């Protein structure tokens, strides 16, 4: 296998997403602000890599970290080029998604909230699941749901990017780009919903009135609604809830860790389950949003892995485990 086997289609997906958004978006007001995500994304990746490298050098007793870094880069710059390029393309893909998400809100009318709320009700034996999770609706949990999830996703993405080429790596990377460029938009078009937090704003009633919201959630929701209500296209806009890409990407993380660092299976699974509960407790998603998104991520990986495995004729392939 080669890294270009996943890199080329991933670049194509990113270009496709960007072109569709630029051609269809009725207002370019959100184009430039979304581009600001790219340097933040790259900087966050550099901080994580730098922190890991610094700790590793300290544990190894390196006398001159700066000289060691220069020598390492000079000797191994080719092997670092693919992970660096992958991070940049992933950041660009995130940018195009931030163009696409509010565009979908503009083009596809919301109608599925009552249906999804009722599915949750029946899945949980005549109860709305958030009523069991109000104890999780706190500021620390809201912070973890947004910031912790982002850091986890970036760490796992870096782990996958630095793994050796194989059918598993190619499938994981292509699945990552398909989640943002295809799975999210397509499922949203099929079942457009805003989520419990906007249920009353959409005129569906006070079913979720007692859910409450901590200040961080209220502020983000107010920002998103202010843009949606005037069909705005600011940075990070878009209120679609189905599927939950928080959970879609979290399931991808769990699958990736199982392949590349299985000793971390239990911690990543526990953190992933907490994120799923928080998606409901904080009011951003119905439980079924996460169930559908997670199932889509798992199925996408299985299909892409089967494709790469058969395409290269590598049998079942070797494990990517690094420890």
- If pLDDT is split at 50, 70 and 90, which confidence band does 161 have? very high
Domain count, the chain: 1
Residue 188 domain flag: yes
Q: Is residue 277 part of a domain?
A: yes
Tell me the backbone φ, ψ of residue 106, rounded to 5 degrees. Answer: -75, -35
What secondary structure does DSSP assign to 84-153, as a single string? HHHHHHHHHHHHHHHHHHHHHHHHS----HHHHHHHHHHHTTSS-GGGG-GGG-SHHHHHIIIIIHHHHH
Burial of 296 (0-12, 13-18, 19+ CB in 10 A): buried
**Residue 277: band (very low, low, confident or very high) from pLDDT cuts 50, 70, 90:** very high
Domain contains 322:
no
Task: Quote the crossing angle between the two packed helices 167-178 and 287-312, to the nearest 10°.
Answer: 140
* Mean pLDDT confidence for 207-229: 82
**Taking residues 139-143, what's their average pLDDT?**
92
Instruction: Give domain status of residue 96, yes or no.
Output: yes
CB 183 within 8 Å of CB 248: yes
Per residue in 246-268, pLDDT (tens digit) is 999 999 999 999 999 999 999 99
Q: What is the pLDDT of residue 81?
A: 84
Judge contact between 297 and 251, C-beta under 8 A: yes
Specify the pLDDT at position 211. 83
What's the pLDDT at 51? 78
Average pLDDT over residues 115-127: 94
Q: Is the pLDDT score of 41 beyond 50?
A: yes
Closest CA to 99 of 236, 285, 262: 236
Residue 281's pLDDT band, with cuts at 50, 70 and 90, is very high
- Please indicate, yes or no, if residue 318 is contained in any of the structural domains: no
Looking at the domain assignment, is residue 45 inside a domain? yes
Task: Mark residue 203 as left, alpha or beta (left: phi above 0; alpha: psi -120 to 50; beta: remaining).
Answer: left
Q: Quote the pTM value.
A: 0.90
The Cα 276–Cα 286 span in angstroms is 10
pLDDT beyond 60 at 314: no
Q: What pLDDT, on a 0 to 100 scale, did the predictor assign at position 6?
A: 93
Angle 29-31-33 (CA atoms, 0-180°, nearest 5)? Answer: 85
Q: Which of 128-137, 210-219, 287-296 has the lowest mean pLDDT?
A: 210-219
Boundaries of domain holding 83 = 4-312
Residue 196 lies in a domain: yes
Domain contains 248: yes
Mean pLDDT across the chain, nearest whole number? Answer: 86
Q: Which is more confident, 298 or 97?
A: 298
| Residue 35: both structure tokens together | 């581009």
């Amino acid at each position: 296998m080669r890294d270009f086997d996943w890199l080329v289609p991933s670049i194509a997906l990113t270009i496709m997403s960007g072109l569709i958004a630029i051609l269809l978006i009725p207002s370019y007001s959100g184009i430039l602000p979304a581009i600001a995500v790219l340097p933040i994304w790259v900087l966050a990746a550099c901080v994580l890599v730098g922190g890991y490298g610094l700790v590793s050098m300290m544990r190894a007793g390196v006398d001159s970290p700066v000289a060691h870094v220069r020598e390492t880069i000079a000797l191994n710059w080719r092997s670092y080029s693919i992970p660096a390029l992958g991070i940049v393309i992933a950041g660009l893909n995130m940018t195009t998604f931030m163009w696409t998400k509010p565009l979908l809100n503009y083009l596809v009318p919301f109608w599925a909230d009552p249906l999804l709320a009722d599915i949750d009700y029946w899945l949980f034996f005549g109860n709305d699941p958030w009523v069991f999770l109000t104890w999780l609706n706190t500021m620390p949990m809201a912070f973890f749901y947004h910031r912790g999830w982002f850091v986890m996703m970036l760490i796992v993405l870096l782990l996958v990017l630095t793994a050796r080429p194989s059918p598993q790596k190619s499938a994981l990377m292509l699945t990552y780009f398909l989640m943002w460029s295809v799975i999210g938009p397509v499922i949203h078009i099929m079942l457009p919903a805003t989520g419990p937090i906007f249920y009353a704003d959409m005129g569906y009633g006070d079913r979720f009135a007692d859910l409450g919201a901590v200040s961080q959630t209220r502020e983000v929701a107010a920002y998103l609604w202010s843009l949606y209500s005037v069909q705005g296209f600011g940075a990070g806009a878009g209120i679609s809830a189905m599927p939950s890409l928080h959970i879609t990407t979290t399931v991808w993380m769990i699958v990736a860790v199982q392949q590349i660092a299985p000793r971390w299976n239990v911690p990543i699974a526990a953190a992933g389950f907490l994120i799923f509960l928080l998606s409901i407790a904080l009011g951003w998603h119905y439980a079924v949003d996460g169930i559908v998104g997670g199932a889509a991520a798992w199925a996408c990986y299985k299909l892409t892995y089967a494709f790469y495995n058969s395409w290269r004729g590598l049998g079942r392939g070797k494990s990517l485990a690094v420890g």
